[in-house]
Structure 1
């Protein structure tokens, strides 16, 4: 049977704390100031049984921050309305907060029925409550009339809650553990302890844990749930977690404990917001606001791109720039309150956590539905494709859900599991063609670009780039020669007159030298080349297989090199060994020019050196 956490909601002095005590026997007002003032200031915690926790939240408007922290860790609401008052301002604000945080089901307790003797009046109060809750689409599990002094109606409410909890099963937990912390303290003999409700995943004793936003890495030393030791906690469990070697001042309400590296800190988000119907606040660009994420509060500035202001009932996508980094996930719901005076004005759902300028003109197009947003993000961030495993982390979902979306949208994947769409590939092809055209216009004599050059220049994952390049080769838009990619020959710009002259001059200069290796500097001295121009001409001749590069900036013409190889073949037909003197006689070269050429022949395995002689190499007869 799953654990459930219920949070009270209602106006100050409507009897929330008294009702919790009637249900559980626990006095949740534990602070001296709370007892002295007769009001709840901070969160109180009580257990109805081994699987049901009730969080008592403050009703006074000054302590809404604490109420929101408590509401972030609940599954259902217990709406408390006094029969003599009916629905009051803080009742409405609490209902809005529950609605914003995605709470769907509630129990209703109409308290102080001992003060109101008129049953028809109580009937009207109940009708008003039901009508109000229906506006928010809350499911009402039961509506109960309560006298906290005599206990009238308490057992009926208690039985309703326990019966519901018996049948309730939590959704299958996600892979990544996450818990919003609402309390921290030191227990003698154990150390630092944090409490909260598990939002996602599972954790057990001995697991490594990251404390965010401060990125403190620790381990779970012990776990309790409902006052009992346990080895494992999972989604929905109310838990106290003993952390190893962490100081108390590093653990406070608002932090998150999670699977290491599963959740990233961020300072900017895009969110879908909805202004509540009861607010008179007008949300304008660059206003400073209070955002309540989980049990934390963070100040932020709002950027509204395509709409000047938001009024009651309005909704849309906007950017929040946070004043401090916090751990945020997609789909996180949060409460938006005005900076001063502090009123709840809207609710939000996180759509994007990695915000960049690309979204500036697309902000209104970002879908609310996670599945549609997945394909939107996949196609929007096409230049930075990521693996399905990374998508699981971004959406805090499992492998099966991502695979389901991939199948529906016909997503393609690389050998290393990088995901992309046909639109991504098409955009990649267009950018690659544009890049290569610019490259050739600036380097018209160069063969093309290596995979590494294109990848570093464009900044894509090589797996994705290879798919794009192979597609362009199949379409005969580009070609690959000697591991270099270039625009298909028929689509290239013709050489200029100057380039043609430089190529002809350089080839003839090398050709005239016969088998004597020509140094690059020698060419440059005879004709006023820029070094970069000569290098391009040399590379062009190498690509066209007109010259042979001997290394160290020495070259011979290909025709003479072929003649030399033919001469060597004939020589080895009747001789086993080749001395330096033999090679000098064969080639007509001096020792100074023969040695570099012999070393090149050794390197290419046309010959094999043994002491001061050469024998035939494996490549000579190929």
Structure 2
């Protein structure tokens, strides 16, 4: 078995002989239903194996069932584009080619069927028309092989071309997280429910637990078949039938997704890029109702154009789809849109954000973000995910869930971004990461807030941290703020004051003449009072100046530490506090312990003032309380 299973799609107008061609190539008729054989048309996807590890999908050509073509084409490696020699190019021929371009199919072969029904000169005319049609498309240089499925003429040559294309096909890119879009569901007697589809990413084995979406139902893998052979595991690119335990056939619909639990989330908002085909005929208006073909599902929804009022044919736009039923998809998934009625393919594009939130048009930040993420580079995706979370640092598992990326891949990208200094680890223990750009933005915000605060409060030494937090944002993470302030403090752009306030590092309070005079009077008042200081009301009653200025001056002397709040509404001049501290230390060095009454006598003050002062010294580790006495703190022994 090849490491990578090859999926070959067929496309082209109805009744141009796709199913007959596949039978001629493989000996197997892809038409499964009796009704299909009677009508001579394939109404659902037929799957036929070509060689050991190659599936040929018979994609229907009937206009009514274009959604089936998208379901098959979304997983193919290359295409056999079929055009009948007797009919030539038909309307659905052109539409199918447009769809394949929208689905970013890169290579293929053009097969002219029914060559036995036409003369050579007519066949050459058809070939020339086909070359014109394929000009400037992915099939421009593709081989054109005329064949007859009846006489088998040209079939061997076609097989050689197919074998060459198969050999040239590289392994599908694997995102590492298992996902399969279900296109068939049936029951086998004695085994139960079986789902079929192509594995889009990841790998599973028998016994694994998976999740059925959008129902979010957990199921277990009982058995796996690939190419009608039982296997124990299956990976990206393989056409697979998976026997499930824990669900019934009736609970599963075509278009549902079988996935690794914990990554994919049903969403009714999808952000995407959209290209409107030149053949669309008229501009696409905002909020137009459309049919969105995504994976194996058709969903109705309305389009919100994010960067244009209307989208002209041949133009590209950023858009949001607001769906009527939830979709489960991934970043970089291709999709096709059709008009609601009458149905016609008008465009398609790439899913950029499969778990979007409701957006409005002309949001410049969102548009710029989507343009960056559109390329699908994991480094850019992780960096942008962090950048869009300004208020909160993020964990690796949160980023992995948002982006549908494996944890090891996100961890690897985070390491690279750390080395490139594009990401900061703000809490190694909790594994919290933050965007470097956002960090600079946050620091600038803090500096601007402090500048404004100093301007409006010129004699305040700084802003309380809680007030600073409120000014930045209500939803801001506290650990992030602490990290940022500590970093800014180390960088000497801000400084934390002794009373837990934040100021600009080079900020200094400059007092005007009136304020300076009031401050001096306050100092003198508390120095004279020694250990019997006045309370706040008593200070105001002294009429040291304009009451508003006195209040500001009082706050200033407290903020600057000229006066010290020792507790119980008692404020003492810092010189008196230092003096009391020295007396206390000297006493304890001589006497080992001191009682409240002894400290009272030492200072010549009443218990009302002495007790709060002793408690203040306890909290600053000058003394240690033991019962009714205090001893000297370790630092001062």
TM category, shorter: 0.7 to 0.9
Match of 2:131 in 1: 130
Residue by residue, what CA displacement relative to the aligned partner does 1:562-604 show, whole Å, maximum 9, x if unpaired? 1211111221232123233323322334445544443443333
Return the alpha-carbon distance in structure 1 between the equivalents of residues 271 and 294 of structure 2. Answer: 14
**Contact 1:387–1:418 (Cα < 8 Å) also in 2:** yes
Return the alpha-carbon distance in structure 2 between the equivalents of residues 23 and 534 of structure 1. Answer: 99
Match of 1:111 in 2: 113
Q: Which moved more, 1:586-595 or 1:221-230?
A: 586-595
1:57 and 2:72 are equivalent in the alignment? no
Task: Give the C-alpha shift of residue 4 in structure 1.
Answer: 0.8
Match of 2:575 in 1: 559
Task: Give the C-alpha shift of residue 122 in structure 1.
Answer: 1.7
Match of 2:503 in 1: 486
Aligned to 2:472, which of 457, 464, 471? 457
Task: Give the C-alpha shift of residue 391 in structure 1.
Answer: 6.2
Unpaired runs of at least 5, structure 1: none
1:20 and 2:33 are equivalent in the alignment? no
TM-score by length of 1: 0.84
Match of 2:403 in 1: 394
Return the alpha-carbon distance in structure 1 between the equivalents of residues 19 and 416 of structure 2. Answer: 46
Match of 1:418 in 2: 433
Match of 2:618 in 1: 602
Task: Give the C-alpha shift of residue 65 in structure 1.
Answer: 1.8
Secondary structure of the corresponding residue to residue 564 of structure 2: strand
1:448 and 2:449 are equivalent in the alignment? no
**Contact 2:287–2:303 (Cα < 8 Å) also in 1:** yes
Return the alpha-carbon distance in structure 2 between the equivalents of residues 264 and 526 of structure 1. Answer: 69
TM-score by length of 2: 0.82
Unpaired runs of at least 5, structure 2: none
**Contact 1:211–1:257 (Cα < 8 Å) also in 2:** yes
Secondary structure of the corresponding residue to residue 597 of structure 2: helix
**Contact 1:449–1:486 (Cα < 8 Å) also in 2:** no
Aligned to 1:546, which of 562, 570, 580? 562
1:360 and 2:383 are equivalent in the alignment? no
Return the alpha-carbon distance in structure 1 between the equivalents of residues 241 and 457 of structure 2. Answer: 66
Residue by residue, what CA displacement relative to the aligned partner does 1:304-357 show, whole Å, maximum 9, x if unpaired? 355443333222333333334323433222101111111100121234454656
Return the alpha-carbon distance in structure 2 between the equivalents of residues 405 and 138 of structure 1. Answer: 39
Task: Give the C-alpha shift of residue 488 in structure 1.
Answer: 3.5
Return the alpha-carbon distance in structure 2 between the equivalents of residues 473 and 143 of structure 1. Answer: 71
> Aligned-pair RMSD on alpha carbons?
4.1
Residue by residue, what CA displacement relative to the aligned partner does 1:120-153 show, whole Å, maximum 9, x if unpaired? 2222223322332343223766433333334444
Return the alpha-carbon distance in structure 1 between the equivalents of residues 207 and 541 of structure 2. Answer: 74
CA 1:464 to 1:588, structure 2 compared with 1: closer, same or farther past 3 Å?
closer
Return the alpha-carbon distance in structure 1 between the equivalents of residues 137 and 542 of structure 2. Answer: 88
Return the alpha-carbon distance in structure 1 between the equivalents of residues 49 and 309 of structure 2. Answer: 48
1:212 and 2:213 are equivalent in the alignment? yes
**Contact 1:106–1:139 (Cα < 8 Å) also in 2:** no
Return the alpha-carbon distance in structure 2 between the equivalents of residues 597 and 76 of structure 1. Answer: 86
Aligned length: 615
Return the alpha-carbon distance in structure 1 between the equivalents of residues 529 and 382 of structure 2. Answer: 63
Secondary structure of the corresponding residue to residue 224 of structure 1: strand
**Contact 2:386–2:394 (Cα < 8 Å) also in 1:** no
Return the alpha-carbon distance in structure 2 between the equivalents of residues 55 and 526 of structure 1. Answer: 96
CA 1:159 to 1:549, structure 2 compared with 1: closer, same or farther past 3 Å?
same
CA 1:176 to 1:23, structure 2 compared with 1: closer, same or farther past 3 Å?
same
**Contact 2:396–2:411 (Cα < 8 Å) also in 1:** no
Return the alpha-carbon distance in structure 1 between the equivalents of residues 165 and 9 of structure 2. Answer: 15
Residue by residue, what CA displacement relative to the aligned partner does 1:412-464 show, whole Å, maximum 9, x if unpaired? 5435573645x545433332222223444566636334389538833556676
Match of 1:429 in 2: 443
1:165 and 2:160 are equivalent in the alignment? no
**Contact 1:414–1:463 (Cα < 8 Å) also in 2:** no
Task: Give the C-alpha shift of residue 38 in structure 1.
Answer: 3.0
Return the alpha-carbon distance in structure 2 between the equivalents of residues 222 and 501 of structure 1. Answer: 90
Return the alpha-carbon distance in structure 2 between the equivalents of residues 340 and 454 of structure 1. Answer: 54
Aligned to 2:46, which of 25, 39, 44? 44
Q: Which moved more, 1:178-187 or 1:567-576?
A: 178-187
